[in-house]
Amino acid sequence: MSGSEPAAPRRKRGRRQRRRVRPGAPPGTLQPHPDAHPPRVSLLGFGPDDLLDVEVEDLGAIREIRERFPVVWVNVNGLGDADVARGIGDLFGLHTLALEDVLNVHQRPKVEEYDRELFLVTRMPRTGISTDTEQVSLFLGDGFLVTFQEEPGDCLGPVRERIRQGRPRIRSGGPDYLAYAVLDTIVDAYFPLLDELGDQLERLEEEILQEAGPEAVGKLHELKRRLTGIRRVVLPIRESVTGLVRDESPLVTDSTRLYLRDCLDHTYQLIELVEHYRDLASGLLDLHLTIVSNRMNDVMKVLTIIATIFIPLGFIAGVYGMNFDVGASPWNMPELSWPFGYLFALGLMAIVAGGMILFFRRKGWF
């Protein structure tokens, strides 16, 4: 848990996550991923007039701090030590089944109610403009909020700053309002990602209209894949927030439930944006295929016109290339003995070709 411990190697992006608990293991078995980051525990204890912001080295100190502050927020960065998760679970009375879900980071966003706490699972965008997400687990109880993250770095800095600056709403709102603030910040973190994807779609649209190259198809499919990933995450988050709004839990006050409705509205906006961009990506793909098809049709039209013009020219050349003996009969191609026969044949070809070009132009085929 100390800051001197080396960071665990980061899991490769795109690698399919697997359950670490072996099949048939007893319920509540805590088995972290071997590549998980070592945990670092931070604590924010606060009230309307008091604040404590510390890094926790000894979990036993949390028990004393809880007695001093009306709200305690314990955040664990890294899930590489089952003893830390078990120790925090013992301090706050967290259910072992929920702790098992914390360490198995394949969970779908959800809300579960236990005897003394609400357990929420959501997915947070990783830092930077990336559609990769990490699991965030929240335990909401009487006077506390415990959060578990997969790795250091998150989007929750504004929430911490509001607490440190003494904003009255969050300092006096209770742990349920703090849980709302965390959820709302995570939901809002998806908007910059969608804005970036929207900008990429606009640039792709200009690129396709100017020159529909084959690389555009790969870019569009990649964008659709990323949008599908966001949609797969945001839909269950909406269901979770809907459950918090509708279910009557003693841990969530009516005043906080009003704010959760606003968070729910943000999830609807996210889903609408995702669907809009997915439709736009599909439309751009159809546009690309249409432009390519039209260009191919233009090429085929030009080639067809050229071939059509040369058909009668080839016929004329074939007729004069039969070389019948004019000595055998005066009707066997007398033009072969005419001094202007060659020029006559070329002129005939030019007249036929020019006439066909004029006919095609009047028809609008050029």
Separation between Cα atoms, residue 364 and residue 366, nearest integer Å: 5
d(Cα 241, Cα 245) in Å, to the nearest integer? 6
Contact yes or no for 79/36 (Cβ under 8 A): yes
Residue 71 carries which DSSP code? E
Beta bridge partners of 94: none
Number of residues written out for the chain: 366
Q: What is the DSSP string of 208-256?
A: HHH---THHHHHHHHHHHHHHHHHHHHHHHHHHHHHHHHS--TTS-HHH
Helix locations, 251-340, DSSP H: 254-320
End-to-end CA distance of the chain: 76
Determine the Cα–Cα distance for residues 38 and 79; give it in Å rounded to an integer: 6
Strands 117-125, 40-46: parallel, antiparallel or unpaired by DSSP?
A: unpaired
Instruction: Assign domain 189-297 to its CATH architecture.
Output: Up-down Bundle (1.20)
298-362 and 189-297 share a CATH fold: yes
Q: How far is CA 181 from the centre of its chain?
A: 23
Q: What architecture is domain 1-171?
A: 2-Layer Sandwich (3.30)
Give the pLDDT confidence score for residue 69 in this predicted structure: 93
Assess contact for 54 and 101: CB atoms under 8 A: no
**Which CATH code for domain 298-362?**
1.20.58
Dist. CA 329–CA 7, nearest whole Å: 102
| Residue-level pLDDT at 11 | 43
What pLDDT does 366 receive? 67
Cα 152 from chain centre: 21
Instruction: From residue 122, give the alpha-carbon distance in Å to each of 133, 204, 211, 295.
Output: 10, 32, 41, 47
* Count of Cβ atoms closer than 10 Å to residue 52 Cβ: 13
pLDDT tens across the length of the chain (366 residues): 433 343 444 444 444 444 555 665 677 678 888 888 999 999 999 999 899 999 998 898 998 899 899 999 999 999 988 999 999 999 999 999 999 999 988 889 999 999 889 999 999 988 655 668 899 999 999 999 999 999 888 889 999 999 999 888 999 989 999 999 999 999 999 999 999 999 999 988 888 888 767 788 888 888 999 999 999 999 999 999 999 999 888 899 999 999 999 999 999 999 999 999 999 998 888 888 888 888 888 888 888 888 888 888 888 888 777 777 766 777 777 777 777 777 888 888 888 888 888 888 887 776
Can you give the pLDDT at residue 306?
Answer: 83
Where do the structural domains in the chain lie, given as residue ranges? 1-171, 189-297, 298-362
**What is the rounded radius of gyration, in angstroms, for the C-alpha atoms of the chain?**
36
Specify the residue for token string 């997400």: 133
Q: Count CB-CB contacts under 10 A for residue 65.
A: 16
